Chains A and B, each alone.
Chain A
Amino acid sequence: MRISKTLYLFFIPGFLLYFIFFIYPTASALFYSFTDWDGLSENFRYVGFENYERAFTGDSVFAKVFVNNLQFMFTVVVLQTLVALAFAILLVKNTKTNVFFRALYFFPTILSSVSVAFIWAFIYDPTFGILNSFLESAGLGAYTLGWLGDASIAIYCLAITQVWFHAGQMLIIFVAGLQSIPEDLYEVARIEGASKWQTFKSVTWPLLAPSATIVVAYTTIQSFKAFDLVFAMTGGGPNNATEIIATYIYEVAFRSYEFGYASAISVLFMIIIGIITYLQFKALRSDRVSY
């Protein structure tokens, strides 16, 4: 079949948008990562791999930020996947109650990040916050904490907020995945005398692998890019304990005026996300089966 040349013209608008909003900025970031551009001046100098060298060997804050981001990512991926999966299993049937609860759990997803940050900053507030007030009224005053002000737990507090914010979205993906599993397979498992755990392990999970792949990959990327929540709730503090790569790039670019170095970190950031996503896809693909 021959495709008329005029049909190619229909690709142009899409290509232009992709070029302007993705290819060009990415190529620019790559270019500037080899310069000392401050983001303001017209002049800059080519510095070779100096910015990359600095990220690996001459910036102790970046090392800390990278570790923070990994902690945040693992906590969010594990918690969000487990919570979303557990609720999806409970709410998989299309009863009126289940549909209501699905909508209820999905609700945080439609809120703006700033609203979520405001709500949770109030919950965590050590003086007037709901969490400490609840602990005190329950006779657990000894367990009240500074939450976001405590460097050892602040990143996990943010991770919990992120899970609350996005678990509903993942729940819907899991519900769709669960509903696509043929009922016959569960019937066979029942006839064979499989326990609930065996049914989950041998039927549900393998057939849910495509949904799980999407959930885990999406959650990973999302948790690496959780700029808005972190920026609005802690600004990266205390003592950089909640600084993640995305907020650090902002700091370096817009507060320190080191666009060249910020671009180098952005390129590294892109590579890191690419590698982690590839590894996840590979690992989760091996779990996939078809009956």
Chain B
Amino acid sequence: MSKKWVLAAGLLGMPLFAAGCAGDDEAEVAGEEAVDLSFMHWRGEDQEVFEELIAQFEEEHPDINVEQNVYPSDQYMATAQRMLQEGTAGDVFASFPGAQFEALNEAGFFADLSDEEFVSNFDEGAIEVGQADGSQLALPYQLVFNMPVYNKAIFEELGLEVPQSWEEFIAMGETLKENGIIPIAFPGADIGPNQFMNSMVMNNAPDGAFEDLLAGEASLTDDWWVKTLEQFQYLQENGFFQENALGTNQDAAMALVASGEAAMLATGSYHMASLLELNPDLELDLLAPITVPEDEARYEGIHTATFMLAANSNSEDQEAAKEFISFLSQPEVASTYANETGQHLTVKGVEYESEALQNTAYWIDERETRFQPRYMITNAQVEDAVLSSIESVLGGAAPEEAAAEAQQVVEEVTE
């Protein structure tokens, strides 16, 4: 079959080849020995900053040209795997943790970075998620807090403290409602369920709960998940979310918080910069619902080390690819990226200049956060089943029924 393909491609490509011959000669002379690197990622909003950093990198490495290939995050899974497979792009690429990392690792796309010096530029604890079988295969660059962002000014005005227990959380919501403020803007139409579930489940689920679920040793009908769904139901039925929350997308939810109509945005720290763009006067911080009594709380928030930088094992220019990752891991370079994109990073020694980043940097060292539980679900269909049970409850189903329905899917998939 491959011979036929070559023949077909040859026939179709003949005229193009003939037309391009003269140009090839010129390119060879001009770009002798130059390496063209493709950097594939999903952060369209960071493209400009990366252009700036790439220009700096190319100045330091005149023999390497870097081109960005950016695909939106919702298409990234499909596009990345195709490109990596074809070898058409992605000498350096970003990967999500969880299911995508597992799949790309199984296919052998990650070059081993374990012995590279620049690995020591990263926070040891944060990069564990990019390891497999004792090897460092990818280096998470961004540190994201996937927990609600809240408007500090509203809290101060109403004399509210950050709740330390479920009881306090409910009382806080009631006060906000009494004052005509929606407690939580919930973008149920897109990322709401997959983000808010993390902080809702962090103190309910035992460590390793989702790994056990995949192994068939735990069930979504167990108390920890049913309780989480019951708490979602409580919030929905008692008006803690805006009306028709399941039909609201993230832009609309952000607008509610930016305008002061809602006090919390159920997404994560990555939306703080966008909220400040919408309303520069906002004072923001992070707050996760504590779903248990105060003395039972083990975690205060959720973190994710993501945007995992990797070198493609199939790339012919692996050394240049590693050189580029090394460049991005330098504290000065990482600081530029962090401050211009409003992100916390896993690189050590980053200096955060913006007020919003400085104000929330204490979450990195001083707070007990749990790695995003959703990313421990390494099977996408199981993840969908988990999220569907939340949507089902928000749509009016009983928590036990929704949990049982989701568990059926989990069993079908894991069997």
Contact = CB atoms under 8 A, between A and B. Distances in A.
Contacts of A126: 243-244, 247-248
Contacts of B131: none
Interface string A126-138: 1110000000000
A232 B246 CA distance: 16
A124 B103 contact: no
* Highest count of chain A CB atoms <10 Å: which of B81, B109, B385: B81
Contact of B255 (A59, A128, A238): A128
B78 A254 contact: yes
B380 A40 contact: no
A239 B388 contact: yes
B103 A257 contact: yes
Contacts of B408: 60
Interface string B193-217: 0000000000000000000000000
Contact of B384 (A38, A146, A148, A251): A251
Given A16-B8, A61-B381, A235-B190, A254 B247 contact: no
Nearest to A127: B252
Contact of B394 (A54, A61, A238, A257): A238
Contacts of B384: 61, 240, 251, 255
A132 B330 CA distance: 51
Q: Is the interface of A mostly helix, strand, loop or mixed?
A: loop
A223 interface: no
B355 to A, nearest CB: 29
Contact of B77 (A237, A238, A240, A254): A254
Contact of B189 (A41, A148, A240): A148
B81 A254 contact: yes
A150 B391 CA distance: 10
B107 interface: yes
B78 A250 contact: yes
Interface residues of A, number: 40
A210 interface: no
A20 interface: yes
B242 interface: yes
Nearest to A12: B11
Interface in B16-55: none
A38 B249 contact: no
B78 to A, nearest CB: 4
B379 A256 contact: yes
Contact of B106 (A41, A121, A252, A254): A41
Contact of B85 (A40, A54, A121, A151): A40
A149 B77 contact: no
A239 B127 CA distance: 33
Contacts of A19: 8
A128 B249 CA distance: 10
B198 to A, nearest CB: 18
Contact of A234 (B12, B189, B245, B379): B189
B409 interface: yes
A156 interface: no
Contact of B409 (A60, A144, A251): A60
A260 B12 CA distance: 30
B74 interface: yes
A59 B412 contact: yes
A19 B4 CA distance: 11
A19 B243 CA distance: 53
A145 B106 contact: no
A82 B396 CA distance: 34
Given A40-B85, A40-B104, A146 B415 contact: no
* Highest count of chain A CB atoms <10 Å: which of B190, B245, B388: B388
A190 B242 CA distance: 60
B249 A41 contact: no
Nearest to B189: A149
A125 B391 contact: no
A251 to B, nearest CB: 7
B97 interface: no
Contact of A256 (B189, B244, B256, B380): B380
A238 B246 contact: yes
B301 interface: no
Contacts of B252: 125, 127-128
A72 interface: no
B99 interface: yes
B188 interface: yes
B346 interface: no
Contacts of A121: 249
A254 B84 CA distance: 13
A58 interface: yes
Contact of A150 (B8, B247, B392): B247
A147 interface: yes
Nearest to B188: A149
A125 B244 CA distance: 9
B87 interface: no
A262 to B, nearest CB: 11
A52 B11 CA distance: 38
A206 interface: no
A232 to B, nearest CB: 9
Contacts of B243: 126-127, 146
A125 B254 CA distance: 13
B380 A150 contact: no
Contact of B246 (A16, A58, A149, A255): A149
Q: Which 4 A-B pairs have the closest CB atoms?
A: A149-B247, A149-B246, A146-B244, A40-B107
14 contacts: A20-B8, A61-B384, A127-B242, A145-B244, A145-B247, A146-B248, A147-B244, A150-B247, A150-B395, A239-B395, A240-B388, A254-B78, A257-B81, A257-B103
Interface of B: 8, 11-12, 74, 77-78, 81, 85, 99, 103-104, 106-109, 188-190, 242-249, 252, 255-256, 379-381, 384-385, 388-389, 391-392, 394-395, 408-409, 412, 415
Given A125-B247, A256-B99, A256-B381, 17 more contacts: A16-B8, A19-B8, A20-B8, A40-B104, A41-B107, A60-B412, A127-B243, A145-B244, A146-B247, A147-B247, A149-B244, A150-B246, A238-B388, A238-B391, A251-B384, A253-B78, A257-B103
